[in-house]
Each structure stands twice: as structure tokens, then as C-alpha cells.
């Protein structure tokens, strides 16, 4: 093994998430700078290091030193130590103070400080703040490097080291060594396979109780999230367990399943096994609905409402249908209502009217308008003229603690709750919202149950409707949209009346192009170029696809469309993995970032690439503009966004675009479902282009056998009223005497006419 003593002089690449570094070293005995790659943390240009490693030949960059491990060299030369302690590394310590320190402690100054910071107490001009700061700087690297060496020494992937350290901080090694399966619960993206690999590399036994118990629990949780269900059956859990473990001893499996039930991590009801959080979510939702539905009918001034309705119709030149008027009347009278309907049926104008009328009648009532995505919330706000926000923002979600500040002990002040795009809301999130809505006495759910259900477990809107909760479905197509092929196609899909492609010949705003898998990219590019020539831009045009891989997948389409919308010219660009991002690129956010007010499904534009300059900036920074909200991304955030020229249909929910281009191919066979195609085409406002196979399209729109989500919400809602209102009021009264911490009650949050 080669050993070098020297300094880091230039950083070519550094990842904060993995601590991987490529740097140029100035070392003793070498005339030229040496290229080194490996794993480091908290490095700087002022420290001297001992680098240990071996040379390797990189196929592209040539000979490099592969770092095995390193040490910080603590100088014993007085002049060097004074220069070091007075460097920018130790802010507030100038040459004079540095000399006082070295004069007092001698040649072992740095070693003595690291051993015990109180060696500094008798130094002239020293304060407790300065003492602690010097000590922290000198020791900052020690623990991080210990963690790195732990990972490398056990052959553990460095992929998650950044997020693991961020989560556990000084307890990182303790958790890794003693509780590796805890990572499954605490860190998003780490499943049983990753945690198990770590545990076994650390010498864990395949028969350890921790391993087997974790495998059973993960089988229940992951099974629910993968299927969108709130419970699993015994055989399903056993099958998943076998897949995770690789074998099955049924008696052992039964033993740990029973333990999890006894400990209430898993809830068993007969043959059903629930993840505890999902079980609780259904209980909370059903109890809330029972409470809301117990409120009496409200009486309003019918003459005043009639006058307001007439004025509204005259002002906007519309005439409300019988069902629309029924919806307005019911909302004003009763505590809860579902408003549903396909495109063009007037949901928007109905909602606008009923909100305005309610505010006229009850001007002092507090109304919360929420939606599951940022785009949907923005649309709701534009529609109503009132402030709307995401559910996460309304509940003040803390990303780092995975908690909601607004909760059952710290409720919202709202009295009326209106939720748009309700089909996208999952059981867990809705239960958290309902817990915080203890003052709410009226709720309106708005959504289209023909669309895709939520990504997370639950099928809430469909369950509500099947529970016979009051739902008014608008089914009359507004006269303004009767000539829209998009609207007609959507409603024919709902009625299952599409048996061929003849409808595409009747309307100018819908088009079907026969395309093979290998022709899709070329044809999509052709359509996009014609749209651009017609005056549309990247915000108007959206390509939608159901899968990421393949010749006609999202990834391939994004690369091709980037060259159309934002070809390489003089703008700056930045590579992340296999993707090159350029200033001006259309960007899709894929994870919620409540601190920055940007959420999964939001679309922005990359406006700046800020590169680190030596040691002044250790992190490269990308800045994305989300409609005036400028969000900074560093390496730990780079996997939370992607190109947005093409996106998944799931991610597009809650958004609308002037032009939608949607491939429907044989390659997508496993994904072809009527609700998927319906959701995609209803994102289009002006023009829809479908490319692919007629056979695949017809198969997809006829396939209504979507994987059945297993939930028990409907049965729980329909159970006899079990809520004791007196108990609820008693609970409210008892909470009045409680002191609520400003951070709120913190609970874990478990786990979106242009013919060319």
C-alpha cells in the first residue's frame, strides 16, 4: 500500500450524500499533483493528511490513487501550528491568539486540545465559546471518518451513508452495529434487503430474532404499500416473507407474526392482518365521518341564495343544471358532500358558486381549501380567489422529523374543509388531516373516481361512494365542451362505449397515430416541433407515459425532447448520473420538500447551476424556479427531481396542459388499464395525441380489472354508529387544560383545438 503526506489542492467532484471525492493532491516527493478518488468527509485545504491507497487505471481518466483510508497529520512545528490555527478554518482566531495558544501548550498543542479541550482554559484571551469552537473543528472529522471506515471495512455500499448519518448523527455506529433493521422504519428508500445485507455483513445470524421479526413486519408493510391495500391475508404475508428470507419455516413464521400481533405492530381481525398505522387510519376516518354526519341540517335564507345564484349566472353567462343546483343546496344544508364527475360537467363552476354563496351567508366562517399537489392547490386558489395549499403545508409537515405540527392536540382553526382532487388522497394522509380538523363542521370532497387511485394505500374516494355517503355526480356535459373530442372520449370511456377508433375521425382535438415502439420517439418529436412552430412552448406541451425504461419509456422520451426544447448551445449544464441537466430545462419534483414549499408533482425550470469554487463552496448547487419560488438543490437532493418533458401519468394527476401526447403501446401491456388511460387523456385541455397500437389502446380502455385494493373503510363507515359524542366533547374539554408545545403533537408519518 502506498502512503503519501500532503494537502488537498483542488476538488474535481464531491458527493455530500455518499462522501465520494475526486481531488488533486499536493504530496511530498512528487512534482505534479496526484489525482485521488475515494471517500472523505469534512476535509479542507489547511489540514495536512496521510493518504493510504493503491494506484488504479481509470479507463477514461488514466492513473489515479484509490484511497483506502487517511489520517489528519497534527503538526508539531510551532510556526505551522500558528499559521494553521489562524487560518480561515478557525474563524475568530487570529495570529496573536494562535501564538498565545502555541506558547501555552507547546509542540503538542493540537494533540493536547483534541485529548481535552480544557487545556485551553488558561490561554490568554480564551473564552469558553472560542475553546469549544477550536475543539469542534479539530475533532469534526474523527467520527465521520470512523463511520466511513466502518462502511468500507465491512464492504457496505456508501449509497446511503449521508442520509444514515443525517438521521442518527452521533448514534450512527450504535444503530448500525446493534439495530441495523431499524433503518427500514427510519429511512425512506431502505428496505429489508438493504438492511439485511448490512446486518449479515456485520456478522448477524440468519436465524436471529431481530431478522425474522423484521422480515415478517416488512412483508406486511411493504405488501400493503405495493398493492395499495390497508391489510393483507395470511398467505400473502407468508409468500412475501419467503421472498425476503429465501426459505420458510412455517412454525417460526407463525411465531413472529403472533409476536407482532401481540405487540400491536400488526392488527389482526379474523383473517385480515393490518399494518398498525393503516388500521388506525381507517378507524380515524370512519370516526370523523360519523361525527360530521351527526351534525344537524342547517337552514339558510332561500330567497337570498336564489338571488345570489341568479346574479352569479348573469355575471358569468351560465345556467346551472338541476344537479348543480342540487349540489349547491345540499352543501349549504348538510355537513358533508362528495362532488364528482368527469371533465366538462361543470364541477369547477359549481364549486366556485357554492363557495361564494357560503361566504356571503357566513362571512366569519374559516374555510380551508386544500389539495394533494402544489399544482392542484394553485388551480383551486385561482378558481376560488381564496388561498389554497397542499395538505402537507396545511398540516405543517416537518420533513426531517416526519411529523405534523397540526394534529389532534393542536388542531386547525378551520370550520369548513374543502378538498380538491380527492381521488389522489390516501388513507394515511387523510387520517392525519381529519385528526387536525376537530373544529370542522362541514366538508366538501371534490374528485373524479374514474381516475387513478392514490399512490399510497387506500382507495378513499371510491370507498366513500360505495359507503353511500352523499355523492352528487355531475354527468351532463356543459354546452361549452360538447364539441370537445377529449371530453366526449372521456365520457365514452366512463360508459364503456368505445369499441373502435372512429371517434378520433370526428373531432379535430383528438388524434391517433399508428406507431411501433421504435417509431414513438421520432413521432413524438415531430408533433412537438409542429406545436412549437404553432406558438406553443414547453409549459403548454406535456408527454405522458406509464413506464420509465425501454425505447419508448419516460427516460428515452425525456432525452429526445430535451434536444428539441433545450438543445446544447451556450448554456451551462450539469451531469447527474446518466442525465445531463441544462439551464432552461423543465424540471419535475418527485419528493415533498415542505421547508421549501415545493411538492411531489410540481413543475419548474432550472435557472442556475452554481459550481463550487475550490474550498469556498463545497457543494455544487442547482436552482430551480417553481413559479417564482426559487429552490436550491445540493448533491443530497439531486435524486429528488428529474426532467419533466415526459412524466408518468401518476405524476401528472392534478395538472392540466394545453397539449398532451400519450404513447399507448404493447410494451405497456402490464400497465394498460382504463383508469390509467382515462387519467392521462383528461390532463389535456385543447389537444390530445395518442400514439401506438390500436390493439393496445382498445385493450387498455376495456381492461377494468385493475388490481383490487383491499380496504375495510367502507364496512367501517357503514357499521352502526359507535361514536359517543359525549365522549368526544369530553375529550375536547380535557384538552383545553393542556399546554401544547409549539412544535405540536408529533407523531410518525408513515410512509399527485390544435390540428397541426
- Indicate the angle between helix axes 192-201 and 234-245, nearest 10 degrees: 40
Confidence of residue 613 (pLDDT cuts 50, 70, 90): low
Q: Return the top range by mean pLDDT from 158-162, 586-590, 752-756.
A: 586-590
Residue 525, pLDDT > 70, answer yes
pLDDT over 70, % of the chain: 90
Give per-residue pLDDT as tens, 76-122.
888 888 988 988 778 888 899 999 999 999 999 988 998 899 999 98
Q: Do residues 278 and 428 make contact, with C-beta atoms less than 8 angstroms apart?
A: yes
What average pLDDT does the structure give for the chain? Answer: 87
Alpha-carbon distance of 175 to 106, in angstroms, equals 39
* CB contact at 8 A, 426 and 434: no
Beta strand 34-39 pairing with 20-27: antiparallel
pLDDT at residue 153 above 80?
no
Q: Please, what is the Cα angle at 576 between 571 and 580, to 5 degrees?
A: 35
Q: Which residues, in sequence order, are CB contacts of 16 under 8 Å at separation 6+? A: 162, 618, 619, 634, 635, 636
14-28, 51-65, 274-288, 670-684 — which one is most confidently predicted on average?
A: 274-288
Q: What angle do CA 467, 476, 478 make, to 5 degrees?
A: 135
Query: What SS3 class is residue 558?
Result: helix
Q: Report which of 30, 22, 35 is spatially closest to residue 5, judged by C-alpha positions.
A: 30
Would the annotation count 344 as a binding residue? yes
The tens digit of pLDDT for each residue in 259-300 reads: 999 999 999 999 999 999 999 999 999 999 999 999 999 888
Tell me what the mean pLDDT of segment 500-504 comes to. Answer: 90
**Which of 50-54, 407-411, 568-572 is modeled with the greatest confidence?**
407-411
573 grid coordinates: 449544464
- 89, 90, 94, 95 alpha-carbon torsion, rounded to 10°: -70
Per-residue H/E/C for 243-312: HHHCCCCHHHHHHHHHHHHHCCCEEEECCEEEEHHHHHHHHHHHHHHHHHHCCCCCCCCHHHHHHHHHHH
Structure letter (DSSP) for residue 186 = H
pTM for this structure? 0.78
Q: Other C-beta atoms within 10 Å of 15: how many? A: 19
Q: What are phi and psi of 483, to 5 degrees?
A: -90, 5
228 is in an annotated binding site: no
- Name the CA dihedral angle for 174, 180, 182, 185, rounded to a multiple of 10 degrees: 130
CB-based burial of residue 418 (10 Å sphere; 0-12 exposed, 13-18 middle, 19+ buried)?
buried
Task: Quick: pLDDT tens for 643-682.
Answer: 999 999 999 988 899 999 999 998 887 788 999 999 999 9
CA–CA distance, 460 with 457 (Å, rounded to integer): 9
Neighbour order of strands in the sheet with 510-514: 510-514, 684-692, 657-664, 541-545, 646-648
Cα separation values, 515 from 164, 231, 499, 541, 681, Å: 46, 41, 19, 20, 18
Determine if residue 348 is labeled as part of a ligand binding site.
yes
Q: Alpha helices of 572-629 — where are they, by DSSP H? A: none
Residue 113: how many other CB atoms lie within 10 Å: 23
- Residue 361: which H helix or E strand, with range? helix 347-361
Cell triple for 441: 363542521
pLDDT on residue 91:
81
Minimum mean pLDDT range among 159-163, 297-301, 526-530: 159-163
Average pLDDT score over residue span 302-311: 89
pLDDT at 618: 53
Query: Residue 330: is its pLDDT beyond 90?
Result: yes
612 assigned binding-site residue: no
Residue 231 has pLDDT above 90, yes or no: yes
CA distance 211 to 415: 47
Q: Are 253 and 689 in contact (CB under 8 A)?
A: no
Residues 6+ apart with CB under 8 A from 632: 621, 622, 623
- 439: pLDDT strictly greater than 80: yes
Q: Which of 86, 167, 95 lies closest to 134 in space, CA to CA?
A: 86
* Cell triple for 419: 378538498
| Residue 132 neighbours by CB under 8 Å, 6+ apart | 117
Bridge partners for 543 per DSSP:
646, 661
User: Whole-angstrom Cα distance, residue 123 to residue 668?
Assistant: 72
Phi, psi of 345 (to 5 degrees): -95, 0
Note the pLDDT of residue 157. Answer: 67
Report phi then psi at 548, rounded to 5: -95, -35
pLDDT tier, 5 (very low <50, low <70, confident <90, very high otherwise) = very high
Amino acid at each position: 500500500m502506498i502512503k503519501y503526506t500532503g494537502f488537498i489542492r483542488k476538488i474535481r467532484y464531491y458527493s455530500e450524500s455518499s462522501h465520494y471525492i475526486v481531488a488533486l493532491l499536493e504530496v511530498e516527493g512528487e512534482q505534479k499533483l496526484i489525482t485521488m478518488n475515494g471517500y472523505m468527509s469534512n476535509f479542507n485545504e489547511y489540514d495536512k493528511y496521510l493518504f493510504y491507497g493503491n494506484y488504479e487505471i481509470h479507463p477514461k481518466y488514466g492513473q489515479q490513487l484509490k484511497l483506502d483510508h487517511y489520517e489528519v497529520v497534527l503538526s508539531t512545528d510551532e510556526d505551522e501550528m500558528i499559521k494553521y490555527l489562524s487560518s480561515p478554518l478557525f474563524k475568530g482566531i487570529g495570529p496573536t491568539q494562535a501564538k498565545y495558544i502555541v506558547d501555552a501548550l507547546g509542540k503538542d498543542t493540537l494533540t493536547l486540545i483534541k485529548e481535552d479541550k480544557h487545556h485551553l482554559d488558561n490561554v490568554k484571551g480564551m473564552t469558553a465559546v472560542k475553546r469549544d469552537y477550536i475543539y469542534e473543528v479539530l475533532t469534526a472529522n474523527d467520527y465521520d471518518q470512523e463511520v466511513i471506515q466502518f462502511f468500507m471495512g465491512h464492504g457496505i455500499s456508501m449509497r446511503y451513508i449521508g442520509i444514515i448519518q443525517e438521521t442518527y448523527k452521533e448514534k450512527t455506529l450504535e444503530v448500525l452495529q446493534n439495530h441495523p433493521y431499524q433503518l427500514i422504519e427510519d429511512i425512506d428508500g431502505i428496505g429489508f434487503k438493504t438492511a439485511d445485507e448490512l446486518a449479515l455483513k456485520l456478522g448477524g445470524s440468519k436465524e436471529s430474532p431481530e431478522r425474522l421479526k423484521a422480515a415478517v413486519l416488512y412483508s406486511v408493510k411493504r405488501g400493503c404499500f405495493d398493492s395499495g391495500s390497508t391489510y393483507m391475508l395470511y398467505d400473502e404475508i407468508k409468500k412475501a416473507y419467503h421472498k425476503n428470507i429465501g426459505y420458510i419455516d412455517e412454525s417460526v413464521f407463525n411465531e413472529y407474526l403472533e409476536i407482532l400481533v401481540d405487540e400491536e405492530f400488526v392488527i389482526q381481525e379474523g383473517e385480515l392482518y393490518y399494518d398498525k398505522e393503516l388500521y388506525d387510519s381507517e378507524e380515524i376516518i370512519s370516526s370523523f365521518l360519523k361525527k360530521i354526519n351527526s351534525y344537524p341540517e342547517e337552514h339558510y335564507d332561500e330567497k337570498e341564495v336564489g338571488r345570489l345564484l341568479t346574479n352569479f349566472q348573469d355575471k358569468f353567462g351560465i345556467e346551472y343544471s338541476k344537479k348543480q343546483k342540487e349540489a349547491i343546496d345540499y352543501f349549504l344544508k348538510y355537513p358533508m358532500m362528495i362532488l364528482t364527475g368527469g371533465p366538462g360537467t361543470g364541477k369547477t363552476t359549481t364549486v366556485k358558486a357554492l363557495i361564494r354563496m357560503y361566504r356571503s351567508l357566513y362571512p366569519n366562517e374559516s374555510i380551508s381549501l386544500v389539495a394533494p399537489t402544489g399544482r392542484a392547490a394553485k388551480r383551486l386558489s385561482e378558481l376560488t380567489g381564496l388561498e389554497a395549499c397542499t395538505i402537507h403545508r396545511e398540516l405543517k409537515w416537518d420533513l426531517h422529523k416526519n411529523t405534523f405540527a397540526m394534529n389532534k392536540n393542536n388542531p386547525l382553526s378551520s370550520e369548513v374543509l374543502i378538498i380538491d382532487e380527492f381521488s389522489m388522497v390516501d388513507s394515511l394522509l387523510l387520517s392525519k388531516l381529519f385528526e387536525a380538523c376537530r373544529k370542522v363542521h362541514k366538508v366538501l370532497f371534490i374528485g373524479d373516481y374514474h381516475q387513478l387511485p392514490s399512490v399510497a394505500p387506500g382507495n378513499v374516494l371510491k370507498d366513500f361512494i360505495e359507503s353511500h355517503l352523499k355523492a352528487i355526480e355531475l354527468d351532463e356535459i356543459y354546452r361549452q365542451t360538447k364539441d370537445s373530442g377529449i371530453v366526449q372520449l372521456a365520457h365514452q370511456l366512463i360508459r364503456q362505449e368505445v369499441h373502435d377508433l372512429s371517434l378520433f375521425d370526428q373531432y379535430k382535438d383528438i388524434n391517433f397515430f399508428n406507431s411501433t415502439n421504435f417509431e414513438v420517439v421520432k413521432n413524438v418529436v415531430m408533433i412537438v416541433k409542429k406545436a412549437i412552430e404553432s406558438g406553443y412552448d414547453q409549459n403548454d406541451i406535456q408527454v405522458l407515459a406509464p413506464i420509465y425504461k425501454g425505447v419508448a419509456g419516460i427516460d428515452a422520451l425525456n432525452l429526445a425532447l430535451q434536444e428539441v426544447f433545450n438543445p446544447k448551445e451556450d448554456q451551462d449544464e450539469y451531469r447527474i448520473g446518466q442525465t445531463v441537466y441544462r439551464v432552461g430545462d423543465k424540471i419535475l419534483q418527485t419528493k415533498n420538500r415542505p421547508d421549501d414549499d415545493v411538492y411531489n408533482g410540481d413543475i419548474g425550470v432550472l435557472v442556475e447551476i452554481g459550481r463550487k469554487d475550490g474550498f469556498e463552496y463545497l457543494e455544487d448547487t442547482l436552482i430551480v424556479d417553481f413559479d417564482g419560488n426559487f429552490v436550491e438543490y445540493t448533491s443530497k437532493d439531486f435524486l429528488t427531481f428529474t426532467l419533466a418533458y415526459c412524466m408518468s401519468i401518476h405524476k401528472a394527476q392534478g395538472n392540466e396542459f394545453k397539449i398532451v401526447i400519450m404513447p399507448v403501446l404493447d410494451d405497456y401491456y402490464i400497465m394498460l388499464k382504463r383508469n390509467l388511460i382515462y387519467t392521462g387523456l383528461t390532463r389535456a385541455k385543447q389537444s390530445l395525441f395518442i400514439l401506438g397500437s390500436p390493439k393496445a389502446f382498445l385493450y387498455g380502455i376495456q381492461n377494468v380489472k385493475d388490481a383490487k385494493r383491499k380496504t375495510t373503510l367502507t364496512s367501517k363507515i357503514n357499521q352502526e354508529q359507535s361514536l359517543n359524542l359525549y365522549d368526544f366533547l369530553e375529550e375536547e374539554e380535557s384538552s383545553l387544560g393542556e399546554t401544547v408545545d409549539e412544535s405540536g403533537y408529533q407523531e410518525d408519518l408513515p410512509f399527485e383545438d390544435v390540428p397541426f
